[in-house]
Amino acid sequence: MAASLPAHDASVDPFALVADDVEALSVALRSAVSVVQLPVLDAAAGHFFAAGGKRFRPAIVLLMSRAVAVGGAGAASPPAAAAAAAASAAASTATAAAADPASADALLLPSQRRLAEITEMIHTASLLHDDVIDASDTRRGVASVNAAYGNQVAVLAGDFLLARSSILLARLRNCDVVEELSTVIEHLTRELARLYAAEGVRVLGGVPPSVWRSALVNVAERVVTRSA
């Protein structure tokens, strides 16, 4: 019979524990996507990130990174001790952050922070493309990128975020992580291709769906190849 986890404090707000991390991530994202040479693309990417958002996905990455850091990097624990550590991870992290913010920051590796940024960039790229497909006028309470800058710029901004995230992903030099997130990008692109096939003629100026489908699948294959 599988052992149950010890009781935990349901009142703990997990997102409050990484609020400072998420705020720092938002600043880092804006810097990571800056394209000084292309003002329109730079403005489009900046427009979206400036709207904020829940940052749910990077928050999960940051929470997991802090949870597995409890007890020291690489430390092996018996199952019972591991369960107890997992149950108290949130409280331990909150206490450490309150007592010494520097020690809390030390729990996160730069690569873990970067992975959280990459996760949000991939998600944002999907939203930019999705708004074009749905002809959405707003996103997060402000004008969508396609409404503010046009469909072509919105699609290019999404493509740029996928490309930039792939570069940052490759720089992690972690083959397992590269393979997992490259697979995510491939699945995302295939799903976008399916949506374009259904609505591409209406939304994107009469280009045959087969053209968009082929182009997007080709992009996915190149992303996976280059990242691997």
Q: What is the pLDDT of residues 190-203, one digit of tens each?
A: 776 776 666 554 54
Residue 116 and residue 108: Cα distance in Å, rounded?
Answer: 11
Cβ pair 116, 61 in contact under 8 A:
yes
Question: What residue type is assigned to position 120 of the chain?
Answer: E
Per-residue pLDDT at 116: 93
Q: For residues 162 and 190, is the Cβ–Cβ distance under 8 A?
A: no
60 against 89, higher pLDDT = 60
Residue 188 pLDDT = 76
Tell me how far apart the terminal alpha carbons of the chain are, to the nearest angstrom.
40
Would you state the torsion angle of the CA atoms of residues 175, 177, 183, 186, taken in this order, to the nearest 10 degrees? -100
Range with the poorest average pLDDT among 31-35, 74-78, 129-133, 169-173:
74-78
pLDDT at residue 228, as a whole number: 45
Taking only the tens place, the pLDDT of each residue in 29-80 is 888 877 767 788 888 877 777 777 788 899 999 999 888 875 444 444 444 4
- Give me the residue label for tokens 């349901």: 10
DSSP state of 108: S
Specify whether the CB–CB gap between 172 and 114 falls below 8 A.
Answer: yes
Cα angle 69, 111, 8; round to 5: 30
What separation in angstroms does the CA of 66 have from each of 30, 120, 170?
23, 18, 23
**What does DSSP assign to residue 174?**
-
Give the distance, in angstroms, between the CA of residue 48 and the centroid of all CA atoms in the same chain: 14
In Å, how far are 7, 8, 83, 84 from 2, measured between CA atoms?
15, 18, 12, 15
Of residues 94 and 160, the one with the higher pLDDT is 160
Quick check: 85 and 93 in contact, CB under 8 A? no
User: Hey, is 144 helix, strand or coil?
Assistant: coil
Most confident of 6-15, 88-97, 117-126: 117-126
Q: Which domains does the chain have, with CATH numbers?
A: 14-227 (1.10.600.10)
Give me the helix-helix angle, 151-170 and 175-203, nearest 10°: 170
Calpha distance 55→171 (Å, rounded): 23
What percentage of the chain carries pLDDT values higher than 70?
Answer: 64
The DSSP symbol for 158 reads H
